[in-house]
Amino acid sequence: MGGHSHPNSESVIRANHEMLTSVTGSFDEAKAAALHHYSRTFRGFSAMLTPEQANQLAEYGSVFSVFESKINKLHTTHSWGFLGLDPVYNSGLAFDSTSNVIVGVIDSGIWPESPSFHDNGFGPVPQRFKGECVTGDNFTQANCNK
């Protein structure tokens, strides 16, 4: 959304519902269509709309952009092959697996027991790493790796 001021998130939600009402036809439909409201860095929302409703919303002067959500597919869970390092890794040549590289994981719904996340052969966690293992239901300290 374009320029705005919002003293609190309740006013953002109300304003979002009012804008959605203009394309859905009713306040109840607007509330049902709204999926998420953004109020911290910018004012906006995500909503389930028909293509016609989205096009209508895009015409408003206060709307910065309207776009359809896309589902992105995970390209690989096999970094060695993806990076073209399989021949090097499997060649028996000296390979520094204790480097100071930190690998971040994007949560794509893959379970931690997946062989893709085994840390066999890796050195210790770099001292500069500030992360931690967060345990939860069916996820214990044993599920965390390096």
The answer to whether 15 and 45 have CB atoms below 8 angstroms apart is no
pTM greater than 0.85: no
Q: pLDDT at position 59, please?
A: 93
3-class SS string, the chain: CCCCCCCCHHHHHHHHHHHHHHHHCCHHHHHHHEEEEECCCCCEEEECCCHHHHHHHHCCCCCCCCCCCCCCCCCCCCHHHHCCCHHHHHCCCCCCCCCCCCCCCCCCCCCCCCHHHCCCCCCCCCCCCCCCCCCECCECHHHCCC
Packing angle of the helix pair 9-24, 51-58 (nearest 10 deg)? 120
Mean pLDDT, range 44-63, rounded to an integer: 91
- pLDDT at residue 104 tops 90: no
pLDDT tens per residue, range 11-24: 888 888 999 999 99
- pLDDT at residue 124 tops 80: yes
Closest CA to 80 of 60, 58, 97: 97
The token pair at 40 is 């911290």
Residues forming beta bridges with residue 36, ordered by sequence position: 46
